[in-house]
Structure 1
Amino acid sequence: MQPTTNKAPGYVALCITSIVWGSTWVVSKIGVAEIPALQMAYIRQFMAGSIFVLFFLLYKKIPLPTTKQFRWLFIMAIIMFTSANGLSTWGIQYIPAGMGSLIGALYPLSVVIFEKMFFKSAPLTPITFAGLFLGIAGIAIVFYENAFHHTGSNYVFGIILSVIAMLSWSLGTIFIARNKVDINPYYGVGWQMLISSVILFVIMETTQKTVAFTAISAKVWWVIAYLVLLGSVMAFIAFIFSMKKLPAAIASLYAYINPFVAMITAYFVLHEKLSIHILWGSIVTIVGVYLVNYSIKRSKKIMVEGEI
């Protein structure tokens, strides 16, 4: 389907996606200051997943997933929501929200590395190598700058959690591309959220001390409401809408905008450090991610043209 000529609604949806998803890092940081991160993650995912699933079951009359679809949904729930979303939420409990969002933006780099290591994808071009170098160098600059203000094992632990979350998102991206299942994307995401919420609930209730629902403050419930209604529902709908209305290259710009929204918002709301070095490191990282994405699309285009 070609993008429609009226692209204004698509750009509005792109702005909503970029601003809301960027701000969720800061909002999550506020929430995990009071309750365990994984507890907040499973509450958020259960509520958001219920909204999607109930809408399609009761209003759209879509049947329950088949056994094949459920197996696929279960795997995706573990990779994308239990691991990627859950661990990234846990990670920002110990690191700046801006740092967490920047690490999350690195996933295209690890997708390229995984594809090359395990699936023998197309040869890496000089542009790809340049992008990989810049992405890693930019993160190193931001990490070095933040290290002076966030010392101790917790900071390192938060970095590790965020990197694992980013790698999980990369694996999920590859899995989706190589194991597609015919299911409505909104409906599928709803089921993934519900499944992951149950998994995270079991993990938390059997391994860690959680906060009783009646003891959760009103502020945290407002945080969860924002994450559910705006972060998980509205922004995701806006993202899918922008993909339909705009060229993929433009609709994907949210990935480059999110980290800056997170860092600027965190600076004003959480008073996180935002030095010139952090800004330059972030810009270098995003340029590296862009070059990697550009090289991938260019290589695929050349391969397609070569087969014609």
Structure 2
Amino acid sequence: MRAAIVGSTGYGGVELIRLLASHPQVTVTSVISSSAAGTPIAEGFPHLTEIRTDLLDGVDPELIRSKADVVFLATPHGVSMKLAPQFLAAGLKVIDLSGDYRLKDGESYREWYKHEPAVQADVDNAIYGLCEVFGSEVADKSFISNPGCYATTAALALYPAVQAGWIDPDSIIIDAKSGVSGAGRGLSLGNHFSEINENFKTYKVNKHQHTPEIEQTLSRAAGRPVTLTFTPHLVPMTRGIMCSSYAKLTEKRTDADFVELYRKFYEGRPFVRVRPVGQWPATKEVWGSNYCDIGFSVDSRTGRVTVFSVIDNLVKGAAGQAIQNLNLMMGWDETWGLRFTPAYP
């Protein structure tokens, strides 16, 4: 299969190039950047020197149609909604890494993204590709909306417990921390080294656009609307997300109960690793990989459970899950191109 990557000079696009170089069924035939057309990808990213690609193309839909079978859109929100319909109309498969098609309600998108939503018919056509939960819906489809990084980390941690009725969905509080690469490659004062180094800060308090995405997913698990508290923090590291999710138990449970429930729920899904009782994951333990690691701690004194989940935000939170969605879409082994053991330390 021939793949084109639009937005190939952002962190998500560059990670797609790296991962697809190891895919047995995919060849990257076009790397597209509106800001760097006509230059070799290795000129800006020397670590890709050994990966053969053409010069960076401009965003020319006709050119892309002639060179690709599937298009990955690693673009900012507001851009994908302009490009995706053109590629779909040309018969190409599209996997969108932006947030343009994640929220099914247009008013919610307008409120949280501060942008006009995509055409509703296109939104309805996009399959939300949280692989371990909705993977069966992805098969044989042509248009996938790849989940957000925070939303992936939080939803994988909470979906089984919400679906089983083990926790009160209205009591959920998600305390999330992310490395700086989650903000993208663009320059800003907030991502400046002297602002981030030896610092730890919260941002977008009660305003982060992944909040309604998490609520949308957990509402499907609960069978009713779910409203929760989600607070993101920025920590001085490059990659990684950790979510510490707190919720009230509906009845008495133990750590061992949660381990058993989650291992059964994610049985056969190779990229979710459920930790044994008394062991909790760390971001470095999934660095560079497509894994989501999950651990638990039940507090019998307060009647609450804390669920800890970690991912690499550029892999499982972006490029890796996009490739996993392609594998599921095509009926391939979902691990193809993703068999990376985490790099440690």
Q: State the TM-score, normalized to the length of structure 1.
A: 0.25
The higher relative CO (CA closer than 8 Å, separation ≥ 6) is in 1
Q: Would you tell me which structure has more strand in proportion to its own residues?
A: 2
Q: Would you tell me which structure has more helix in proportion to its own residues?
A: 1
Q: State the TM-score, normalized to the length of structure 2.
A: 0.23
